[in-house]
Amino acid sequence: MTRLFKNKIERKKGLWRRVVDLALTDVRVAAGGMDHTSLEDLEERLLAADFGVPATMRLVDRAEEALRRGKTRGASGVVDTLRTEIREILDGQDDAFLRAADSGPTVYLMVGVNGVGKTTSVAKLANHLIREGQTVMVAAADTFRAGAVEQLSMWADRIGADFLRGQQGGDPAAVAFDALEAAEARGTDVLLIDTAGRLHTNRSLMQELEKIDRVVRRRISGAPHETLMVLDATVGQNAVRQLEAFKRSVDVSGIVLAKMDSSARGGIVVALRQEYGVPVKLIGTGEGLDDLESFDATAFVEGVFSS
């Protein structure tokens, strides 16, 4: 498997500062003022920052253990322990890259619940790839919501992507199939398939998604090269439940964490990885085309505990 991104998506200056200030100041403050009596405080703040119960337990246990054994000397020791532990949770995260096909079109499937930012993320990613010199087709396999096809069509016009239109009310799996055929025929480098938002509790819509996935798998071996689940960073632990449910239907390979600009709880990145092993690959930092950045685990960990 070759890698698709030639360059890392540029991180905007100050983003990590913002993530840390918004999301993790409390955690940093708690860790910085750590002594034997404030483990509970640290635990509360980790939970509030959306680290989730398993990651929080793991981090608090380690901090406690380190304090008990006297391995660490007060605050800076705890900070070091937490930094190491979070880095370990995020380890192996190949943040900057998405998988690409060795030959033929690379296919990415974008999935998620309603309104999380799928279509916007498709546009942002397509825009980035076009700027890198790739030819890109976007397919509107959201035939359900009125206006969804037009929304993507407008983005495609604006960024210069090929566009494959689905019929309103038509079978989204058929749209995906047509798009695969067209991308192959035209020698397109990357095909991005946008899907309708669906609640993970709606069995028939999840079956529809499974069908789209099946069609893609049958038509092109190795595809989809990434199944990207878009999650809204502002919904907290709900995002973890959504991932859990979608993983039962499709093989989610990476996460696009949208709306990170409005989230006050960056620990969700750690929770998703700790609980389901799925890496956050991209983050959305606004509504504009340029508001997409690659997730950098090292910068994240440094950011969490730098002062």
Which residues of the chain form contacts with Mg ion (CB under 5 A)?
118-119
Segment contacting ligand GTP by CB under 6 A, of 51-59, 63-71, 238-246, 254-262: 254-262
120 binds, among ligand GTP, Mg ion, none (CB under 5 to 8 A by kind): ligand GTP
Give the Cα separation of 291 and 242 in Å (integer).
Answer: 23
Q: Can residue 45 be called a binding residue for ligand GTP (CB under 6 A)?
A: no
| Pairwise CA distance, residues 288 & 285, whole Å | 8
Cβ proximity to Mg ion, 150 vs 181, nearer residue: 150
Instruction: Give CA angle at 150 (145, 156), nearest 5°.
Output: 125
Q: How many residues line the site for ligand GTP (CB under 6 A)?
A: 22
Candidates 197, 200, 245, 195; CA nearest to 224 is: 195
Q: Write out the binding residues for ligand GTP, residues 91-150 only, by CB under 6 A.
A: 112, 114-120, 142, 145, 148
Rounded Cα–Cα distance for residues 96 and 93 (Å)? 9
On whether the CB atoms of residues 282 and 9 are closer than 8 A, the answer is yes
Q: CB-hemisphere CA count at 13 Å for 94?
A: 9
Interacting span for ligand GTP (CB under 6 A) from 80-88, 208-216, 258-266, 293-301: 258-266
Residue 34 partner contact from ligand GTP, Mg ion, none using kind-dependent CB cut-offs of 5 to 8 Å: none
d(CA 281, CA 255): 6
Site string for ligand GTP, 188-217 (x = CB under 6 A): ---------x--------------------
What the block records as the tokens of 129 is 């790839």
Q: How far is the CB of 37 from ligand GTP (least distance, A)?
A: 39
Residue 294 binds which entry of ligand GTP, Mg ion, none, CB below 5-8 Å type-dependent: none
Peptide bond between residue 224 and the one before it cis (omega within 30 degrees of 0):
yes
If binding is defined by CB under 6 A, does position 7 make contact with ligand GTP? no
Burial-class residue 87 by CB neighbours within 10 Å (0-12, 13-18, 19+): middle
Partner whose binding site includes residue 285, from ligand GTP, Mg ion, none (CB under 5 to 8 Å by kind): ligand GTP
Q: Which is nearer to ligand GTP, 60 or 269 (CB)?
A: 269
**Residue 216 binds what, of ligand GTP, Mg ion, none (CB under 5 to 8 Å, by partner type)?**
none
Smallest CA-to-CA distance from 288 within 259, 267, 264 is with 259
11 binds ligand GTP per the rule CB under 6 A: no
- Tokens, residue 210: 């499974």
As beta bridge partners, residue 292 has 284
Pick 44 or 290: Cβ nearer ligand GTP:
290
Return residues touching ligand GTP (CB under 6 A): 112, 114-120, 142, 145, 148, 197, 230, 258-259, 261-262, 284-287, 291
